Amino acid sequence: MNALHFSRVVIVGVGLIGGSLALSLKRAGVVGTVVGVGRTAASLEKAVRLGVIDEAATSLADAARGASLIVLCAPVAQNFALLHALEPHLEPGTIVTDAGSTKSDVIMAAKTALGDKVAQFVPAHPIAGRELNGVEAALNDLYLGKKVVLCPLQENSRTDVAAVRAMWESAGADCHVMSAVQHDAVFASVSHLPHVLAYALVAQVANAEDGPLKLDFAGGGFRDFTRIAASSPEMWRDICVANKDALLREIDTYEAVLGYLKTQIKAGDGDALERVFKRASDTRLKWGAARANALHNVEP
């Protein structure tokens, strides 16, 4: 047996993220039994059939009995209700963690719902995803070479934080520690804001009188810019509401940058436009090269 071993792992929400974690832990050989918790029996049966989980549970209370680790992978707006339902059944030796895209809100929910037991909750966010959703899309190498952000609480024990870190590392991920405030500012900027901007552009084209003609002539630039506008509306609704403060700050700054460009376009000031475009273009080219390099080093 490995030095790292979780005898009973409970995955709450067995979709792409939760299902991929289950498969990754199995592949790494660090888990005994994986129990899936979900809203419908049908989807859990499918997860059992696909070999993603070993057992299905519709009650969190049943699932929590004897659990070494409980991982919340449901849409972030459900976390408070889930933690509230879990609290009376949460045993002293169990670690709870999550995989949500926002952190300040889940910490607030955990502090309220768990009380003193919040010490057992280690907030985390794996930076991974796919175009596809649902347990059928789960992969045992989804987290290989990906980043995971841990936002430990002052209340957490070193051992619990180390166990969550080791779990993600066994899935092939690299862990980074950040405060929840810093995490939410970073992802508001490079993830949540771009999603809002892409949704806004597609909504604008869809609502235009000549929308169909415009879509007919949209090319590869539009395709890539708007790819994330095909993402789950429910998931992104929840993220926007959960990370409201940081996102609003980023939107304010964005409006200022766009307003500046608009002023220069109105004035026909090509030099001013070119300076901003060049700063962006240099940054993007450098980022792309660094990223290609990093991904290359990860390839098996």
User: What residues numbered 249-278 form the site for a second copy, per CB under 8 A?
Assistant: 250-251, 253-255, 257-259, 261-262, 265-266, 268, 270, 273-274, 276-278
Name the segment binding a second copy (CB under 8 A); options: 26-34, 37-45, 50-58, 218-226: 218-226
Q: Which of 149, 151, 161, 167 binds a second copy (CB under 8 A)?
A: 149
Q: Per rule CB under 8 A, is residue 93 in the interface with a second copy?
A: no
CB-nearer residue toward a second copy: 41 or 241: 241
Instruction: Please say which residue, 14 or 239, places its beta carbon nearer to a second copy.
Output: 239
Tokens 């003193």, located at residue: 116
The stretch near a second copy (CB under 8 A) out of 16-24, 126-134, 150-158, 161-169 is 126-134
SS in 3 state form for the chain? CCCCCEEEEEEECCCHHHHHHHHHHHHHCCEEEEEEECCCHHHHHHHHHCCCCCEEECCHHHHHCCCCEEEECCCHHHHHHHHHHHHHHCCCCCEEEECCCCCHHHHHHHHHHHHHHHHHEECEEECCCCCCCCHHHCCCCCCCCCEEEECCCCCCCHHHHHHHHHHHHHCCCEEEECCHHHHHHHHHHHHHHHHHHHHHHHHHHHHCCCHHHHHHCCCHHHHHHCHHHHCCHHHHHHHHHHCHHHHHHHHHHHHHHHHHHHHHHHHCCHHHHHHHHHHHHHHHHHHHHHHHHHHHHHCC
Angle at 56 between CA 55 and CA 60, to 5 degrees: 115
What is the nearest approach in angstroms of a second copy to the Cβ of residue 65?
A: 34
Does 5 help bind a second copy (rule: CB under 8 A)?
Answer: no
Site string for a second copy, 18-57 (x = CB under 8 A): ----------------------------------------
Q: Which of residues 64-83 bind a second copy (CB under 8 A)?
A: 77
Options 13, 15, 100, 129; binder of a second copy; rule CB under 8 A: 129
Our CB check for a second copy shows the closer of 62 and 255 to be 255
Instruction: Please report how close the Cβ of residue 55 comes to a second copy at its closest, in angstroms.
Output: 32
Residue 191 near a second copy by CB under 8 A: yes
Q: Which stretch binds a second copy (CB under 8 A): 116-124, 137-145, 155-163, 222-230?
A: 222-230
Q: How far is the CB of 70 from a second copy (least distance, A)?
A: 26
